Structure 1
């Protein structure tokens, strides 16, 4: 039986206890590594489907988030670890893209919001003029936006805006999202449609018109794609690591208990009130 096969089957909760994996994350996150490793286990607890995929792919997906210094707690909405067939893959949330843009120090303003029928007048893609009249009030959960808009202003004065209709966003989901595609939304798209719709327009805006920093390029490359196996983790042996696969697998296993993690909300914390039809500026100023 190969080490790689054993690692793929070992529960994430035990994988993160091995010295090899602890050292990998410590090299990236230093003192924050233990908390980050705990959040990986929490992410699996909140999404039982992740326990049924290659467990090493969960670790490698989390490694992508750690490299970008973004949390994997699904309730925060920066990076989701999602199952696809027998593999896990990282899915960057709209807050993740905003965070990476903000770190560049080149954005004076970055805003995204859903737009409802009683607010929308017209959109001119040539002049990028959106005739929009905010109508702030509580909305029924069944009321869908007619579209989503995102815009930014750089510190050098350059501005850009995009507007996608609801149908354009949904067509994009069906065509490009592996884990959330199909006729009906699945996975993260089913649970957090508005957040993923905002991610779609923000990603399009930033990657087509915004400065492409190294972190932004890495995020786009990794987003919703399988990650390669870390060969150093794959080749753990008893001689290399006293907490290796063999020693952990042979350790007594405690009876399975229900997870103590009780999420208050699986939906990410959206910075606007989804029922009010409004979106404050996500950040504004010279934050770096």
Structure 2
């Protein structure tokens, strides 16, 4: 065997020897999050709840491994990641293909933000009879009137929409068993200004405002409409969390311990 081939063989052996160590490290980190989630938040959980929590942690960790920025933030902010897991468990969000919430890396921290699909989940749990959230294109017929006799009319022009027409409004209309339809309307620019003002990660490439602007816009206008309706426990918990985000509060260990005492 030549000297070159011998060196190649040694490098291959070293590379193969390193693989188990890397995998072991990942497994240990996943175990760390699972055990801490169960020990900190699952003191009074039954077997079904503990299994759900374990599956949720594994689901989130597996998805995070495909995002280097998020994975780095999780390694740097383990308390923040555990807090995100706690929020998802508290709201009992299902583990599905369409994510119910986002994990957002920001300045080496991890924050929790509900997606439009997750917000719809909570809205339907509130017992609403109707939820309609739509975007309005510049070619659509759209009438919005507030006052003593509010009116909302939207006739989409699907044929013209395909000709690069712009979205100009987003609206949400909701109705409970005990109310008439309640609606909120925001212009495209109003939504963008709202996101720029209240989202810490708005200008980052990982922000859902960059990757899913329309979905986040629908969530924003839906949240405004839901504020006029009676709140269920799930919806109230999340509205409190959203208000904390809008006040630009950071997640700290103290907040985590407070949250743990509430959930115990």
Distance 1:185-1:125 versus aligned 2 partners, 3 A rule: farther
Deviation per residue, 1:57-85 (Å, 9 max, x gap): 11211211111011477x62421111121
- The within-5 A match list for 1:120-199 is 120-126=141-147, 127-137=149-159, 139=161, 143-180=165-202, 182=203, 187-199=207-219
Compare the two structures and name the one with the higher helix fraction. 2
Is residue 94 of structure 2 the alignment partner of residue 78 of structure 1? no
Greater gyration radius:
2
Larger RCO, structure (CA 8 Å, separation 6 or more): 1
Judged with a 3 Å threshold, the aligned counterparts in structure 2 of structure 1 residues 203 and 62 are, in CA distance, closer, same or farther, namely same
Q: Is the 8 A contact 1:153 1:160 kept in 2?
A: yes
8 A contact 1:122–1:130 mirrored in 2: yes
**Which residue among 203, 213, 217 is the counterpart of 2:232?**
213
- Equivalent pairs counted in the alignment come to 218
8 Å contact 1:12–1:55 — kept in the other structure?
A: no
**Aligned partners of 1:139 and 1:98: how far apart in 2?**
25
Query: In the TM superposition, what is the alpha-carbon distance from 1:125 to its structure 2 partner?
Result: 2.9
Distance 1:141 1:34 in 2: 47
Q: Which aligned runs of 4 or more in structure 1 are off by greater than 6 angstroms?
A: none
8 Å contact from structure 1 (residues 72, 81) kept in 2: no
Matches within 5 A, 1:1-288: 14-18=28-32, 19-24=35-40, 27=45, 29-53=49-73, 54-71=77-94, 76-105=98-127, 107-126=128-147, 127-137=149-159, 139=161, 143-180=165-202, 182=203, 187-207=207-227, 209-223=228-242, 224=245, 226-229=250-253, 230-231=256-257
State the alpha-carbon separation in 2 of the partners of residues 142 and 43 from structure 1. Answer: 34
CA distance in 1, matches of 2:117, 2:30: 26
TM-score by length of 1: 0.66
Deviation at 1:139, TM superposition (A): 4.8
State the 1:141 CA deviation: 9.7
Deviation at 1:33, TM superposition (A): 2.4
Q: Is the 8 A contact 1:25 1:66 kept in 2?
A: no
Distance of 2:213 and 2:91 partners within structure 1: 24
- Normalising by structure 2, report the TM-score: 0.72
